[in-house]
Amino acid sequence: MRGGQYQVMLLLQGLREKGHESVLLARENAPLWKNAKAAGHEVAPARVLEVWRRSRAFALVHAHDAKAHTLAAVAARRQFVVSRRVAFPIKRTASSRWKYRRASEYVAVSDYVAGELRNAGVPGERISVVYDGVAPASVTKDWDPSYPVVALRSSDPGKLEGLVAQAATLASVRIEYTTDLPASLRQASAFLYLSSSEGLGSAALLAMSMGVPVIASRVGGLAEVFVDGSSGLYVQNDAGEIASAIRRLLDDRELALGLRAGGMARVAERFSTEAMLSETLRVYERALG
């Protein structure tokens, strides 16, 4: 389960609460499949024939990743909407151009991603920016500079784990690498989120919602998540600059508490689940004419 999968779960729940029937097509027995079934949602395999067969019974199809986009373009028997979360440029092949012409509307996770869609030739009037929603989370009870600095454990080279280690050494701090971010954030002095490319940065949003100050790379859509100095700290991907930001945060309690409050306020203002749901429904309405 990564950011995109959690957003699908939030959307399924929100649609159900609004009285809209939906079915999830997903990879069999993958974490998203299991989580959706456990929550009582109808789930079926994400296959061409399944899309072709089931789509006729629904008003709209929503594709949430590149593979789903292809399935919808080939087999959907209704209008379809595509979410795009990644920051890398879109291919300019003939098959890609055909696929991108097929969708009625695009949901971009950030202004940066919306720009990449426009660069690929998608008309701006078919693109809507809908930021991720953040589910309510338990706020950490206090802030303590003795708590570890938390960073994601990832096999993705774009998450710059080596640079995290270099900066930690320069700052003389302990890094807790995690694959269970909500648990690790319950006692964290900061969340260090470095990336070479990012569509938005849902992990940073989770940390902010839990009252953990965030230090993040100023790249892609991640640069839209908070306001530098008031709800988080942005850095260039330079070990010395990152180390300085870590030390500045840990050595200045007033700054840390200000970022903690500012981050929570920023999430409540701009990244609520209700805003995500209402904006997505508006996209659906446009797609349906």
For residue 89, is pLDDT > 90?
Answer: no
pTM equals 0.91
Determine the pLDDT at residue 122: 93
Secondary structure (3-state) at 128: strand
Determine the pLDDT at residue 187: 93
Nearest to 222 by CA among 193, 245, 250, 243: 193
Cβ 82 vs Cβ 63: under 8 Å: yes
Domains and CATH numbers, the chain: 3-133+272-287 (3.40.50.2000), 149-270 (3.40.50.2000)
Cβ 81 vs Cβ 283: under 8 Å: yes
For residue 231, name the pLDDT band (cuts at 50, 70, 90): very high
Determine the pLDDT at residue 234: 98
Q: Each residue of 28-41: pLDDT tens digit? A: 999 999 999 999 99
Rounded average pLDDT over 55-75: 95
Backbone angles phi, psi at 25, to 5 degrees: -100, 120
Backbone angles phi, psi at 234, to 5 degrees: -95, 145
Rounded average pLDDT over 174-189: 94
Determine the pLDDT at residue 90: 83
For residue 141, name the pLDDT band (cuts at 50, 70, 90): confident
Question: Nearest 10 degrees: CA dihedral of 193, 195, 200, 201?
Answer: -30
